[in-house]
Structure 1
Amino acid sequence: MTNQPFFTRDRDAYIPTDAARGPWDPNSLHGRVIIGLLAFAIEQRHGADDFVPARLTVDMFRLPTLAPIEVTTRLVRDGLRIRVVEADFFSGGVGMARASCQLLRKTQDPQGQVWSPPNWDVPAPSDIPAPTDPRLGMNGKWATRPIVGAMGTVGPRRLWMSEVRDLVEGAALTPFVRVAVAADFASPFANAGDQGLGYINSDVTLYLHRLPVKEWIGFEVVNHHATDGVAIGECFLYDQQGAIGTSTVAALAQRKPMAAQRPAP
């Protein structure tokens, strides 16, 4: 990729670039790059080809500035079939987010049939014209191919998303990092209403039964509910071969502009 990455490196520190700025405060990071960088560090230090990162949960309890980032990891459990890793995200030396990742060893499926939702039947990304509105890709944060509906519309919402830049300079996107960076999109896609997006997500939980095989990730909104300013949203995730998992978020009512700290849940 030739676009500016979200982070460069300075020894053990990750330095945010302008591309990493988020929508809530121009001097803060986008949630997607927080999630992606935690996934990147976990995979780099603890991943293995025979393990699937089946669950990644990221709690985002403060909104980081553009200060240098450090990520620490800790191996909680390294069993034969289950590996559990925790990671902490520090911005300017202050803890801003924390992740927990469960990696499961690949094996054979048991015999028998189990019901699953039917696969979605949608056009391939190459068969959908690129949108002309730059806001659909947040002005160059990602590429989209809308399928049906849009944020704020009533009814089904589906689209394809692809990254247009690397997360960390000099490190090609792996399938896990690619889907981890994209997972945060479940919040605006599921939680935006006819007056725009009024919720800021405080976490993301990504469930995967397999990793995506190509660059496009499909999102299908399947749930949104809110009471007293607390919302949940959920999307099914796909690649061009079928379903790969889900992305679920919790969110708080929020108005722009915001201070450089996420409200504590």
Structure 2
Amino acid sequence: MAYFERVGESAFRATEHVGGAWDTEEQHIAPALGLLAHVVELDRDARRDDGLVVCRLSWDILGTVPVDVVSTSVRVLRPGRTIELVEARMGHGGRDAVCLRAWLMKPGETGHLRATSLPRIAPPEDMPSWDPSTVWPGGFIETAEVRRAEVEPGRASFWVRTPLPLVEGEPVSALAGAAGLFDIANGMTVRADPRHVAFPNVDLTAHLFSPPEGEWIGFDTTVSFGAAGLGLTSSVIHDVGGPIGTMAQMLTVRPR
């Protein structure tokens, strides 16, 4: 079992475990974001061997996509010896559904400078288990193991992991695996009942100052709604070693 199965050089079949939360007949976009991170890394490794690391991932969600076969493509927008900007796209039926722009940088030795003032969250073992399927339907949500400490609606810290690989029978980096869980943040501490208010995100941007390690990905998340139909889900991303970056999702808030 996996979220995707490769069916061609650049084509992947979404499995039932990708079923969405807003509409179970459409893909939850989270695994698709991880898939695009994966194809960016595959393209990098095919072109060069000097270990550029992905430090920013910015996805634009251009539309919905059915649980079906999708195509992918990658191109280098800004080549360089130490810094690259790469674009990847995923589409279905001749229409782009997601566009990723990723900055890749040459790593250096700065272990003696490693520090952050971002606060840590409690480790996974110190948070109670929480079943997200009590709020959300869909195949993807059913696969997620969540531990959560909610302060109030729209404010929580939580950890997420999944037993399923991103792509069947294919090695996937810890980064791509983590990226396949990032989009879950918008639904883990809802400010409004999704049966009464829709608040899907139109994008997701993650900035990482350390690569993720381990199977758990942690989030310290705040959801904000404005008065004009806009919202924002803001998160500090963690692995078990502490904060590793930040993330933002722009929301369209639509009372039903």
TM-score interval (norm. to shorter): 0.7 to 0.9
1:157 is aligned to 156
TM-score relative to the length of structure 1: 0.83
- Superposition misfits of 4+ residues, deviation over 6 angstroms: 110-114
Does residue 15 (structure 1) correspond to residue 13 (structure 2)? The answer is: yes
SS at 2:202 equivalent: strand
Shift of 1:98: 0.7
Which of 2, 7, 11 is residue 5 of structure 1 equivalent to? 2
Does residue 80 (structure 1) correspond to residue 78 (structure 2)? The answer is: no
1:253 is aligned to 253
Structure (1 or 2) with the greater helix fraction: 2
Question: 1:48-92: per-residue Cα shift (whole Å, max 9, x none)?
Answer: 663221101110111011231110000112212211100111112
Partners of 1:113 and 1:126 in 2: CA distance: 25
Shift of 1:225: 4.1
Partners of 2:240 and 2:136 in 1: CA distance: 20
Shift of 1:164: 2.0
Unaligned runs of 5+ in 1: 257-265
Task: Let me know the Cα RMSD of the aligned residues.
Answer: 2.6
Indicate the percent of aligned positions where both proteins have the same amino acid.
Answer: 23
Shift of 1:126: 3.4
The equivalences for 1:165-176 within 5 A come to 165-176=164-175
Distance change in 2, residues 1:173/1:143 (3 Å): farther
2:59 is aligned to 58
Distance change in 2, residues 1:136/1:164 (3 Å): farther
Distance change in 2, residues 1:112/1:45 (3 Å): closer
Alignment length, in residue pairs?
A: 247
Shift of 1:108: 3.5
Which of 21, 26, 31 is residue 28 of structure 1 equivalent to? 26
1:263 is aligned to none
1:143 is aligned to 145
Question: 1:165-206: per-residue Cα shift (whole Å, max 9, x none)?
Answer: 11111124421112211111232246x214346300010001
State whether residues 186 and 248 of structure 1, in contact with CA within 8 Å, keep that contact through their aligned partners in structure 2: no
Structure 2 counterpart of 1:224, one-letter code: S
The equivalences for 1:97-136 within 5 A come to 97-109=98-110, 116-122=116-122, 124-131=123-130, 134-135=133-134
Question: 1:106-140: per-residue Cα shift (whole Å, max 9, x none)?
Answer: 113498798x4243151x32344544674379652
Unaligned runs of 5+ in 2: none
Partners of 1:221 and 1:9 in 2: CA distance: 33
Partners of 1:245 and 1:145 in 2: CA distance: 20
The equivalences for 1:140-219 within 5 A come to 140-146=142-148, 148-149=149-150, 153-154=152-153, 156-189=155-188, 192-196=190-194, 198-219=198-219
Structure 2 counterpart of 1:63, one-letter code: T
Distance change in 2, residues 1:137/1:96 (3 Å): closer
Partners of 2:92 and 2:220 in 1: CA distance: 32
1:261 is aligned to none
Report the more deviating stretch, 235-244 or 90-99: 90-99
